[in-house]
Amino acid sequence: MESNDNIGLSCPMPLSDYPNVLLAHGGGGKLMHQLIEKIFAPAFASPELEVDHDGATLPFAGRRLVFTTDSYVVHPLFFPGGNIGTLAVNGTVNDLAMCGAEPLYLSAGFIVEEGFATESLWQIAQSMKKTADEAGVRIVTGDTKVVDRGKGHGLFINTAGVGAINHNLLINPKQICREDVIILNGDVGRHGIAIMAVREGLEFETTIESDCAPLAKTVMKLIGAGMEIHCMRDLTRGGLATSLVEIAETSGLHIGIEERSIPVRDQVRGACEILGFDPIYVANEGRFVAIVPEKDAARSLDIMRSDWPDACIIGKVTDKHRRLVTMKSIIGAERIVDMLSGEQLPRIC
């Protein structure tokens, strides 16, 4: 009865390794990928899921819709540059945009802990409304649950989003080709360090603000101008490095980037030096890479710069290696960029 095994009579995770879920399983690195590959992907196997992208592209009435969902558990709920509400809207809108869809509708589910300040909830709802207006989406359905004190960390939000594809491009990692150019829309690592600074009480001379921002308008401009985008990815958990490794692994190609070309603000670099972090693994909430053919690179860069002055080309796709990301270091040597196991942990010395 082989089929019985496949429908999950025994857990495929090696139990001796991880009988319990670790925080690192949610860190966006290797452990999380193992959890998805071994538990969720086999359980929910479908052609849409196999594309391995930020959302599912679905045929509907002769057109294509994109459907995506994300949950937000950020702590602290308020941080320089945004709050959990702005994240919950931008995160899902950006996932739709990365599939090349125009974001249309969102749902919002709130899990509120008993005792949570209604004033804070009001503030968060207000900023969700404002962010949704800016991104051009409407929040059209929702749900509210309250859980016992001590069981909810204040507030969790889940949003799901629907968007429409109004073009004929296929945008996902499998579309990238040799000689494609990788364009990044700005400096990396700011969101992760901003959150870390508040959470851990680290103080810097100036406040580091999250880069939380909607990306759909830029994406629509690129598509509107006829840019032949092959793949896009927003650089959330796991940062630039993890996103590029995911794309290289799904596409089977090699991505080569240059450390020197990746913008990182001085404050973020300083914080990373102190903590022993590598900024290319730190989370962002308003950063993405667009992978476009060489012929469209200059024009795409110009369009991106009209919204993001620091946008720049950071590397290209080759077939020099398979399923690999390499980076030319500042002093000119080449090294592999790998996915981290879990979250980056501050170093001892």
Residues that bind other proteins (CB under 8 A): 17, 20-24, 30-31, 200, 202, 260, 266, 269-270, 273, 276, 278, 321, 324, 326, 329-336, 338, 341-342, 345-349
C-beta of 21 vs 43, nearer to other proteins: 21
State the nearest-atom distance from the C-beta of 345 to other proteins, in Å: 3
State the nearest-atom distance from the C-beta of 318 to other proteins, in Å: 12
C-beta of 26 vs 142, nearer to other proteins: 26
Report CA dihedral (304, 336, 193, 120) to the nearest 10 degrees.
Answer: 70
State the nearest-atom distance from the C-beta of 276 to other proteins, in Å: 7
C-beta of 157 vs 248, nearer to other proteins: 248
State the nearest-atom distance from the C-beta of 244 to other proteins, in Å: 15
CA distances from residue 341 to 75, 157, 259 in whole angstroms, order as listed: 22, 26, 21
C-beta of 19 vs 62, nearer to other proteins: 19
Place of tokens 């629907």: 162
Residues in the chain: 349
State the nearest-atom distance from the C-beta of 217 to other proteins, in Å: 32
User: How far apart are the C-alpha atoms of 93 and 58, rounded to whole Å?
Assistant: 17
Burial class of residue 163 (count of CB atoms within 10 Å of its CB; 0-12, 13-18, 19+): buried
3-state secondary structure of 83: strand
C-beta of 113 vs 338, nearer to other proteins: 338
C-beta of 26 vs 136, nearer to other proteins: 26
C-beta of 217 vs 323, nearer to other proteins: 323
C-beta of 130 vs 199, nearer to other proteins: 199
Take residue 233 and report the two structure tokens written for it. 């990815």
77 and 155 Cβ atoms separated by less than 8 Å: yes
HSE-up of residue 129 (Cα within 13 Å, Cβ side) = 6
Give start and end residues of each alpha helix (H) in the chain: 2-6, 30-35, 41-44, 47-50, 84-98, 118-135, 190-200, 216-224, 239-251, 266-275, 294-307
State the nearest-atom distance from the C-beta of 29 to other proteins, in Å: 9
Would residue 288 be called left, alpha or beta, if left means φ above 0 and alpha means ψ between -120 and 50 degrees? beta
Take residue 123 and report the two structure tokens written for it. 């503030």
User: How far apart are the C-alpha atoms of 275 and 27, rounded to whole Å?
Assistant: 17
State the nearest-atom distance from the C-beta of 346 to other proteins, in Å: 4
Take residue 228 and report the two structure tokens written for it. 């032949």
State the nearest-atom distance from the C-beta of 333 to other proteins, in Å: 2
